[in-house]
Amino acid sequence: MLKIQYFASIREQLNKNEESLILPANVNNVGDLIEYMKNNDPIFYQVYEKNPKLLVAVNHTVADKSVALTRGDEVAFFPPMTGG
């Protein structure tokens, strides 16, 4: 099971803070997870298309699409940060 959390504008657009997902057999890394979620959740698809540079963290560490996922991981999605 993956614990998926959403932050800031991503949370607002999806209208949920978090969810749990049984790790699908064909999801091996962050990129696979994003594709899986886009294909199975039309709202996530729309959010991702509007925010293709959204950031992902796995177990509290910012991760790129190649980072492997295993059962029990915590995945967080959040918009890119801006400075100023």
CATH code assigned at 66: 3.10.20.30
Helices 42-50, 30-40: inter-axial angle, 10-degree rounding: 120
| Higher pLDDT, residue 22 or 80 | 22
Checking if the pLDDT of 83 tops 80, the result is no
Where in the sequence is the domain holding 44, given as residue range(s)? 2-78
Strands in the chain per DSSP E: 2-6, 18-21, 55-58, 61-63, 74-78
Confidence band, pLDDT 50/70/90 cuts, at residue 81? confident
For residue 82, what pLDDT is reported?
Answer: 62
Alpha carbon distance 22, 3 (integer Å)? 9
**pTM, to two decimals:** 0.93
Assigned domain for 84 exists: no
Q: What pLDDT digit, counting tens, does each position of 39-73 carry? A: 999 999 999 999 889 999 999 999 999 999 999 99
Assigned domain for 83 exists: no
